[in-house]
Amino acid sequence: MTFFSDAVFAIAMTLLIIELHAPEVPDAALPDALRELVPGYLTFVLSFVVVGFVWLSHHRKFAAIERYDQGLLRMNLLMLLFVASLPLPTAILGLHGDDVLAVVLYAATISLIGFLMTGMWLYAWHRGLVAASIDLAVFRLVLVQSFPIPGIFLLSIPVALLAGASAGELSWIAAVPASAVITRVYRARTEETAPA
């Protein structure tokens, strides 16, 4: 299953760039043509980084999952559907980054991917599909690490609806630092409550 998933991730990450084309313009017009590519390129970089984080998370989780059942396979396929479709909201965001609908569509797609990954981890744990070497503390740590990125993107939807597209997009900057801070705080708290 991981080989199939890896292939979908790889194809989706490659297709993210397909909407960007080298400008075929006279030399004098090249600076303006390159400036027009900037929003699309920044959207490509954002999507590549986010999908990269999701792919790494998928690898970590599935390294700990020893067995699969039909439910887990179906959840994985559903998650891969949204990964494979990500080039479309990425292209729309690159072309219409000032439009709230483009921001909402993109943020909803990223949120769905992340929360489906989290759902797979919960499902695998409760179905006994996770390796016996993964204890409850590790399970909880992985679970805590799963929420910040899709959570920030989900919260960016009402931000965009209330404050505009740019505000929603700016809130995405918090995703990676929030993930690091939440992980650090969780680890510190579990160390404090651990028996001496």
Of 100, 102, 85, the closest CA to residue 43 belongs to 102
Question: What is the crossing angle of helices 70-85 and 2-15, to 10°?
Answer: 10
Q: What is the pLDDT of residues 13-39, one digit of tens each?
A: 888 888 778 888 888 888 888 898 888
Q: What is the pLDDT of residues 134-182, one digit of tens each?
A: 999 889 999 998 999 999 999 999 999 999 999 999 999 998 888 889 8
Q: What is the pLDDT of residue 193?
A: 65
Look-up of token digits 């990500």: 86
Q: What is the pLDDT of residue 22?
A: 85
Residue type, 63: A
Q: How many CA atoms lie within 13 A of 137 on its CB side?
A: 9
Q: How far apart are CA 76 and CA 71, in angstroms?
A: 9
For residues 153-174, b (16+ Cβ closer than 10 Å) or e, as one string?
bbbbbebbeeeebeebbebbeb
User: Where in the sequence is the domain holding 164, given as residue range(s)?
Assistant: 2-193
Q: What is the pLDDT of residue 18?
A: 82
Q: What is the pLDDT of residues 91-108, one digit of tens each?
A: 999 899 999 999 999 999
Of 25, 20, 67, the closest CA to residue 45 belongs to 20
Residue 75 in contact with residue 120, Cβ under 8 Å? yes
| pLDDT of 194 strictly over 60 | no
Mean pLDDT of 106-121: 97
Q: Report the domain count for the chain.
A: 1
Q: Chain-wide mean pLDDT for the chain?
A: 91
Look-up of token digits 């989900």: 154
Q: What is the pLDDT of residues 48-98, one digit of tens each?
A: 998 898 899 899 999 999 999 999 999 999 999 999 999 999 999 989 999
Residues in the chain: 196
Residue 65 in contact with residue 131, Cβ under 8 Å? yes
